[in-house]
Amino acid sequence: MRELISRPRRLRATAALRDLVAEARLDARMLVQPHFVVPGEGITEEISAMPGIEHQSVDRLLQTVESDLELGIRSVLLFGVPEPADKAPDGSSAFSDAAVVPKAVRALKDRFRHDLVVMTDVCLCAYTDHGHCGIIHDGRVDNDATLPQLANMALAHARAGADVVAPSDMMDGRVGAIRDALDDEDLCHVAIMSYAVKYASAYYGPFREAAHSAPAMGDRRSYQMDARNRREASLEAGLDVDEGADILMVKPALAYLDVVRDLAESFTQPLAVYNVSGEYSMVKAAAEKGWVDERAVVLENWHAFRRAGADIIITYHGRQALASGWL
Ligand SMILES: [Zn+2]
């Protein structure tokens, strides 16, 4: 038999060797934990489709974030879940300074200052009575009429002290509209993480229970991307970069790793992936049935995100991973 020169198995012999040569690595500092914030006090309610994830009032959120910080999670992404009575056709309660997200931002920044990166989701769907991400005119989501609303929402979050605002609506031109509005108010230090590449996805199912944001009619395919398209992702990302996006995001993560790789190779901005609710709940459900090893599957997925080129992982599994010593 011919003598083998290259034997890749040599470097797989022990765990220490494998760790030494591993290409993709994970670090708690790259994780972002999402939170669903509700009005009121003393509220912690589990979201049934997302075991381990809760609706929380601001007072409880502070406690959760404090213990997460001790675990090493230094970044949060906030979603507001307003009372049904506060929903309106134009989503205007989204940009009140008294809304639940600005309140949560103020409380978090008061308590944790620069130790915590506070990111906020900017989209109208939780605040409109029809559940769409923009204003509806003549049965259509009106792109340009929605832009000032999104800018106002981002302003309310930025004035409250958010470090990063994250528009997720997929209207054309929203990053530029938000950047202009922030700069006009001397909020030029506030960064924009754009959900640049957000696909219309069945993986968002559990989130809609969490955010009470399912559209009352129709779906979001007229503004979110079509899952069949890859090149269009680079177009979307390029537009957002030109408009001033500081961080790009691909959402969902698992089924779109080709797109993550494309963006990692084409853009210099930090790249985030959103390991979405459906991805979380599928792993949870299979683990509960004993069909998969939860730790192993989560780490395999996260390493896949890193291998594809992601710098930041937004994930519901962050707290559990760190509390259980998975990293
Ligand atoms: Zn939305």
Instruction: Decide if 265 contacts 310 (C-beta within 8 A).
Output: no
Cα of 238 from ligand 1 centre, angstroms = 21
The token pair that represents 193 in the structure block: 């993480």
For residue 167, how many other CB atoms are within 10 A of its CB? 29
Whole-number pLDDT of residue 2: 82
Whole-number pLDDT of residue 213: 79
The C-alpha atoms of residue 318 and residue 68 are separated, in whole angstroms, by: 9
Whole-number pLDDT of residue 58: 98
Instruction: Decide if 39 contacts 57 (C-beta within 8 A).
Output: yes
The C-alpha atoms of residue 189 and residue 191 are separated, in whole angstroms, by: 6
Smallest CA-to-CA distance from 125 within 212, 35, 209, 226 is with: 212
Whole-number pLDDT of residue 100: 97
- Interval 261-279: pLDDT, tens: 999 999 999 999 999 999 9
Residues belonging to the active site: 198, 251
The C-alpha atoms of residue 50 and residue 44 are separated, in whole angstroms, by: 14
Cα of 150 from ligand 1 centre, angstroms = 11
Cα of 141 from ligand 1 centre, angstroms = 12
For residue 172, how many other CB atoms are within 10 A of its CB? 15
Q: Which residues of the chain have pLDDT under 70?
A: none
pTM for the model: 0.96
Instruction: Decide if 129 contacts 94 (C-beta within 8 A).
Output: no
The C-alpha atoms of residue 86 and residue 245 are separated, in whole angstroms, by: 30
Instruction: Decide if 79 contacts 126 (C-beta within 8 A).
Output: yes
Whole-number pLDDT of residue 1: 76
What are the residues whose beta carbons fall under 8 Å from the beta carbon of 76, sequence distance 6 or more?
Answer: 32, 33, 34, 35, 65, 68, 108, 116, 117, 118, 119
Cα of 133 from ligand 1 centre, angstroms = 4
- DSSP codes, 175-204: HHHHHHHHHHTT-TT-EEEEEEEEB--GGG
Cα of 224 from ligand 1 centre, angstroms = 9
The C-alpha atoms of residue 121 and residue 315 are separated, in whole angstroms, by: 14
- Interval 65-98: pLDDT, tens: 999 999 999 999 999 999 999 999 999 999 999 9
